[in-house]
Every structure is written in structure tokens, then in C-alpha cells.
Copies of this chain bind each other. A is one copy, B any other.
Amino acid sequence: MIKVGIIGVGRIGVVHAKALSKLGNVEIYAIADPVVADIETYAQSMQIPNAYKDYKKIIDDKNIDAVLICTPSDTHYAISIEAIASGKHVFCEKPVDLEISRVKDIQKRVDAENGLVYMVGFNRRFDKEFMALKNSIEVGKIGKVELVQITSRDPSPPPVSYVKQSGGLFSDMMIHDLDMAYYLVNQEAKSIFAVGNALVDPKIKTEGQDIDTAIVTIEFESGAMCVITNSRRAAYGYDQRAEVHGSQGCIMNGNHFSNHSLLMVKEGLISEKPLDFFIERYMDAYVLEISKFVEAIETKGKPPVSVIDALRSLVLAKAAAISLKEGRKILISEFMSDK
């Protein structure tokens, strides 16, 4: 029985707690959060034996095998270092950090700890829809990958206050799609080009210095290409789709719906909107994701999403931001040498 401590039990921490409670071979041994008011009550309701304000009590507890870092993004780096130093396996929510140098630092520390599992939370890789794409590619159903189209739209924009500290659309939102592009194309990126605007909420630009709508084009080593479209708003709900075109055909996936009923009336044929929002859409994926973390610990194997994956998508996000700012195509090699 692997003992786990969850650091940060806000929205995503609770999701992971719920996911862990469905697994048989793991115990949530402790949770820690400095701001959640009712943490003891929550711990009791979940039958979690220990609840702290200070996460360091989790770091220092020798009974705990692994930690989940679900705190605000700007604390991931520091907590990761402490957790690694204490010999604990780490599941860290994305992003590891918004600074490339720091992500590389974590990478070095993980490499130095033989057998330590450090996994990064890119939940979409564990979604049945996206796994179906990946599987179709891997078994050769569509031949050689040539062109990928990823559509990702949130139901509604976050408050500008969130936008300000988010790191920007590319690092905060599109990072999932950039990771998905790597996951599906499975090779190194050569260049990236971005256009974008604040079309949904002008304050996102004027106050948040950010955009809410973007199109990004990526060229890969083989000549394969990928286009990602993002918007912070979709009136019809959370929109998460991809198409992969290959030499032998195409595999595309769709959104998730609460039911598949079709109402046929004089106004037209009407079906349900997609599920809102990521917690509903990806709940099954979160369960599978965390089970893979536990499995990697148990089998002393490699985690399915590593720091290098986090680094790859972060580099693309950074390069996309520069591309947008300078209005030019960015070579990933150029970018890497910059840093």
C-alpha cells in the first residue's frame, strides 16, 4: 500500500483525491493546505488520517512515499525540490515552472535520484478520446502522420485577475495542446508561428497583457505540420477535438456529452452540448493518470509523462509568445540557443 500526501487541496487537489480513492493499492495518508478553511472536515469526510496547514509536515513524514503537488503554479518548483530531496516520488501538476531553466534544474535533480518517479500532469494523454487517436497512429491505421489539427476552446474566459498571473494563454492553456501535438506527432518540433488577439474580452489585452484567441502552426522534423486553435470562449461548451491526417487516412475524435439523445422538433434536430468543463470532461482521465503514477512507483518504471515532456511543451509555449510579439516564425533551435 503506497502512502500518498496531497499538497494543495483546491479544485485540482480534490479531483486527484477523488481519483486516488478509486484505486485499491494506495492510501491518502495526509493532505496539506494553508488556505482551505475546512481541511480537517474534508479529511474526515474522505477518511484521510492527517490534515495540515503546513505542507512541510508531509515532506518530513517518513511514512509517506509520494506527494502530489497541486498548489499554485509559482510554488511547484520549490516544493518539487524539497520533495525530491526527501526522496519522495512526485506527481506535479503542470506547469513544473514557467522558467525553462528551472524545469531543466528539476530534470537534473530527478535524474540524480535513481528510481525516483517524477510525473507531470498532462491529463489529456489519459483521455479515451485522445488515447484512441494515439493508438490508431501507433497500430498504423492512418500511415505516416502528415498534418494534425487540434481545436481547444474553454467555455468562458477566466477573470482578468487570473489571466494576469497565468503566464499567458500559451503557457496556461495551449500548453495542453502543445503537449498533445508532441504526443500525437511523436518527434521534435522545428519551428512555431503564432497569431492571436483578445477578441473575447478586450480587458484580457488592456489589463492582462494577454490574448484569448490564437492560432499556432508548428513544423516538425519530418515535415509533418500541426495547427492548434485556441479560444477562451465557446458558447456551446468545452470543445476539445483533434484530427490526425496521415498517408493512409485520418483519425478524428469528438467531445463528451452527458447523453446522446436527439430531440427532433420543428425547430430542428437538437442534441446536448459538450460537457462543461475539464473536471467533468476529464474525470476518467484523471483516474487513469494517477493510476499510472502509482503503477510507475510500484513497478519501479518510468512515468508516462516526464519532466522532459513538460520542458518540450514549455519551450513551444515560450517560442509561441515570442512569435506573437515579434510577428515572425521562431525556430526552436534558435530559441534553445537563446536560453
Contacts and interface: CB of A to CB of B under 8 A. Distances in A.
Interface in A91-143: 128-129, 131-133, 136, 141-143
Interface stretch (A9-17, A59-67, A146-154): A146-154
A48 to B, nearest CB: 14
Interface stretch (A159-167, A169-177, A249-257, A310-318): A249-257
Interface residues of A, number: 73
A153 B268 contact: no
B129 A266 contact: no
A266 B261 contact: no
A137 to B, nearest CB: 11
A250 B272 contact: no
Interface stretch (A35-43, A224-232, A293-301): A224-232
A326 to B, nearest CB: 10
A56 to B, nearest CB: 31
B236 A225 contact: no
Contacts of A329: 193, 327-329
Given A147-B215, A213-B146, A268-B271, A249 B235 contact: yes
Contact of A273 (B133, B245, B256, B264): B264
Given A146-B213, A269-B270, A271-B269, A259 B151 contact: no
Interface of A: 22, 24, 45, 128-129, 131-133, 136, 141-144, 146-147, 149, 151, 153, 191, 193, 195-200, 213-215, 217, 219, 223-225, 227, 229, 231, 233-236, 239, 243, 245, 247-256, 258-273, 327-329
Contacts of A256: 260
A147 B223 contact: no
11 contacts: A128-B258, A128-B259, A132-B258, A141-B263, A142-B265, A193-B195, A193-B217, A213-B225, A235-B249, A269-B270, A270-B270
